Amino acid sequence: MKLKKIWVIVVFAALVAMFYYFDLGHYLTLSSLKENRNLLVEYYEHHRIITIAVFVTVYIIQTALSLPGAAILSLAAGAVFGAIMGTVYVNVGATIGASLAFLVVRYLFRDVIQSKFGSRLEKLNIELETRGFNYLLFLRLVPVFPFFLINLGAGLTSIPFWTFFFGTMIGIIPGSFVYCNAGASLATINSMSGIVSFRVLGSFALLGMFALVPVLYQKIKKR
């Protein structure tokens, strides 16, 4: 492995280790958010640009490093910025962070994976190059698949970067809005489990299935 790639791994590993060593995760809890909401809102009212910049930067880092806490950050966005603008800032941070994770994995490991399993992955790569947007939209809309695993897995395939970028940006809008909208009414939330209902999950799954309709149509048409 090239020295540059080793340094990238070392830097990412060090940042993840720092997160757990300093126990930064204890700030990303529902109780902590509720305790500090008024302070965050007050600070935002006096330092709007700085607050937005810091929030988006934190979200980018959290997503790029595949760290826990995305749900709390999304609630915080709704609590501080409101449902609509919170969704916008979450979308920017999550999309950029996911794209960074995608690019890093592609830079570090894609060539190795393709050289070892290229023949087995040929059909998958062709499918993703032509219909990757629909598949990615499905994966983003259906909340069964962990967000960070999609970022990492996509980086190992031949899906085009801009397909990944726009598929992520569009696909995460519904889920981001649900959490930001809940965050706007933070006082009524007692647990994370009550934020997303089965009806909402079913709606996301239905949207995800609609994303696959063009793919299924093309396959049926060929047959």
User: What distance in Å separates the CA atoms of residue 211 and residue 24, rounded to the nearest whole number?
Assistant: 37
Q: Is the pLDDT of residue 149 over 70?
A: yes
Query: For residue range 166-190, what is the model confidence (pLDDT) as tens digits?
Result: 999 999 999 999 999 999 998 788 8
- Whether 133 shows a pLDDT value over 70: the answer reads yes
Give the model confidence (pLDDT) of 51-106 as tens digits.
999 999 999 999 999 999 999 999 999 999 999 999 999 999 999 999 999 999 99
pLDDT at 127: 81
Identify the burial level of 141 via C-beta atoms within 10 angstroms of its C-beta, where 0-12 means exposed, 13-18 middle and 19 or more buried: buried
Task: Report the distance separating Cα 83 and Cα 87, nearest Å.
Answer: 6
* Residue showing tokens 């070892």: 116
Q: With 70 as the cut, is the pLDDT of residue 118 above it?
A: no
d(CA 63, CA 114): 25
Q: Which of 100, 121, 101 lies closest to 112 in space, CA to CA?
A: 121
Residue 192, Cα to own-chain centre: how many angstroms?
Answer: 18
Q: What percent of the chain has pLDDT over 70?
A: 97
187-216: average pLDDT: 79
Residue range 4-17, pLDDT digits in tens: 889 999 999 999 99
pLDDT category of residue 1 using cuts at 50, 70 and 90: low
Q: How far is CA 189 from the centre of its chain?
A: 22
Question: Quick check: 162 pLDDT over 90?
Answer: yes
CA atoms within 13 A on the CB side of 91: 21
Q: Give CA–CA dist 143/3, Å, rounded.
A: 37
Tokens linked to 102: 């995608």
Q: Given a cut of 80, is residue 159 above it in pLDDT?
A: yes
| 197 pLDDT above the threshold of 80 | no
Average pLDDT over residues 199-221: 79
Q: Which residues contact 82 (CB under 8 A, 6 or more apart)?
A: 180, 184
